[in-house]
Amino acid sequence: MSTRAGSQRGVGTASLRRQVGRLYTALVLHRRIVNVLGDSTAWIAALVLGLLFRYDFEVPGAAVRGLLVLVPLALAVQFLVGLADGLYVGRWILGSFEEVAALTRTVFVTGAFLAVLDLPTRLVPLSVALAAPVLALVAMAGARYAWRLQRERQRDPSQTAKPLLVYGAGEAAAQVISSLVRQPESPFWPVGLIDDDLRKQNLRLRGVPVLGTGAALAPVVERTGATALLLAIPSAEAAFVRDLSAFCLHHHLEFQVLPSTAELPGCRVGVDDIRPVTEADLLGRREITTDCTSIASYLTGKRVLVTGAGGSIGSELCRQLKPLGPDRLLMLDRDESALHAVQLSIEGRALLDGDLVLCDIRDEHRLREVFDEHRPHVVFHAAALKHLSLLERFPTEALSTNVHATERLLELSVEYGVERFVNISTDKAADPISALGASKRITERLTAHAADRATGEYLSVRFGNVLGSRGSVLPLFRAQIEAGGPLTVTHPDVTRFFMTVEEAVQLVIQAGALGRDGEALVLDMGEPVEIVEVARRLIAESGRSIPIEYTGLRPGEKLHETLIGPDETVSARCHPLISHVPVPPLGPARVRALRPTMGHGELIAALQRLASSPTSVRTDGPVGTVRPLGAVVDDHQAAPGSA
């Protein structure tokens, strides 16, 4: 008997819940009507309570009659003003700041109308007419907040979403948590926050509490049962992202991040911005602030030529230069398919028209035609051969493309009055031991020599490995994992610098505005990364058992790259991520003396000699003024291949 009674009570409870649910759904569907009725009720209650409080609950008949006149007027004005302000037409998100602002305006106008009306007539005491709007506003805003809170709690997160721990309790975390609890279809449900700021340890964001600092991350994960971790710090640097990624791999957590600050300039974040961690996050994430004012001064309204525009650096340069307002953006490359791709990425179409320039920079006659036709004001020289091992085997290609072509490009730039020339160099030019490094160091010295002769400013920009560029180690590792391995690493201790192509190009453009004649500007690449750790991380992410094979350093490779050579000193720093290094000039006559017909070893040795800086460099006078000691600046009579 008791079982049957219990069963009946259970059925009755379930039925009641269903009826309440249907009623709530109906209210949501008819929200506008409910808002009007609710606000009207709030005004009635506010005026009645104001009158009761004024007379200590002993209201005289005259005041009651005045109230009966004032209430309909208040409801009518509230409705008409609210309708005009979008309050009752579904213009605002429920309980949002915008809706509360509209509500405040409407109540203020209605209250002002009542006060002005009551001054000569004294329908109710003036204190009631002044206090009632405040009471009404509190009731209306409170009702909307309670309604929104109830809607957000309708979802059962245990069945539809993964429990998510959020690292960071700042503005980005507040936005993404609000987005998560608002959207029933979101894949995550926030169960706690982690923040290293001790002042935030009692903070709650939309009811989600801060549960500790990063030091307590492991016990918090165990206590909350979180299966995913979101890094909600867009400005986090790569080293911090790597540490959290390693933690998540060890504790079998799904690791998610928000885009970096550079990817979200002034934008709000939400559920759709949550994404898995990428190599760029792990190796190259950096918060960079670009001074667009100084950039515009040398690019806006100018004819800008980018060589190697189809490459990874050149194409990104074109994408970032286009919004800065050049008069013309001349995109030069010898690869027609690459030009097709870069035009498509910038303009959304690829008709191979406009300012595309098909040209091989090794063709001096064709290059002169380009300068004669377009007469650029600014040149970004990104065209180069860059695969170290291939150039070590074929140094004549390094000579023809990296050295001789750059020398001709500089000569034409000086001849045609180019105002600013930016030579894209590499970290391998610092203390070079390879044909690639030596050839790029020579281009830095040739650029410094051109700076002495030209009326404009000629400088070089030096940085390391760019994520996503052709030949990058990361696509190689992923391809090897896909093929079943092994992953090939040259040495267990080898390290390299990494930066995303977007960050590198931002700093290149900034360097073009800050650099002084003849300098090499060196981009801060952060801390070097152990390549074997990158390989292990990718293997762990793949969930497969794949061996790592050490192949040994190849000719010309360094165990650890450097950004500044041992004989170089930083002369100034006008940007926190850009260092200025003086470069000793090298006359073009000594470069022209090198011939592709030279023997392999002889040519590499000659490149090394020309790349070597003078043994003594003095930097007197203004920053960036370089005065080599001895007759080494421009020795046009030097013997072929001599240093």
472 beta partners: none
DSSP of 146-204: HHHHHHHTTS-HHHHSEEEEEE--SHHHHHHHHHHHH-TT-SEEEEEEE-S-GGGTT-E
In this structure, the dihedral spanned by the alpha carbons of residues 150, 153, 154 and 160, taken in order and rounded to 10 degrees, is 160
E strands of 497-605, at which residues?
A: 498-500, 520-523, 529-530, 548-550, 572-575, 578-581
pLDDT (mean) for 318-330: 92
Query: What's the chain's Rg over C-alpha atoms?
Result: 35
Q: Give the H or E element holding residue 609.
A: helix 600-611
Average pLDDT of the residues of the chain: 82
pLDDT at 643: 29
Q: Which residues pair with 163 in a beta bridge?
A: 189
Element (H, E) at 108: helix 97-121
Q: Which of 575, 489, 476 is nearest to 536 (CA)?
A: 489
Question: pTM of the prediction?
Answer: 0.69
Q: How many CA atoms lie within 13 Å of 188's alpha carbon, on the beta-carbon side?
A: 29
Which helix (H) or strand (E) segment is 229 a member of? strand 228-231
For 400-410, write each residue's pLDDT tens digit: 999 999 999 99
Mean pLDDT of 502-525: 86
- CA distances to 36, 101, 166, 414, 626 from 298, rounded to whole Å, are 58, 44, 43, 17, 24
Which residue, 143, 149, 141, is CA-closest to 103? Answer: 141
Query: What mean pLDDT is predicted for residues 471-475?
Result: 75
Write the CA distances from 500 to 16, 263, 416, 506, 576, integer angstroms.
Answer: 58, 12, 34, 10, 18
Torsion, CA 600, CA 606, CA 611, CA 613, rounded to 10: 150
Report whether pLDDT(6) > 50.
no
Alpha-carbon gap, residue 259 to 211, rounded angstroms: 24
- Alpha carbon dihedral 457, 459, 461, 462, in 10-degree steps, equals -170
pLDDT tens for each residue of 345-387: 988 877 787 789 999 999 999 999 999 999 999 999 999 998 8
pLDDT above 60 for 469: yes
Q: List, by residue number, the catalytic residues.
A: 428
| pLDDT exceeds 50 at position 393 | yes
Cβ burial, residue 589 (10 Å; 0-12/13-18/19+)? middle
Mean pLDDT, residues 142-151: 74
Among residues 496, 495, 536, the alpha carbon closest in space to that of 249 is found at 536
Q: Are 485 and 536 in contact (CB under 8 A)?
A: no
User: Left if phi > 0, otherwise alpha if psi is -120 to 50, otherwise beta: which for 417?
Assistant: left
Buried b (16+ CB within 10 A) or exposed e, 192-207: bbbbeeeebeeeebee
pLDDT of residue 334 exceeding 70: yes
Nearest residue to 282 (alpha-carbon basis) of 560, 538, 546: 538
**Residue 547 in this model has a pLDDT that exceeds 70:** yes
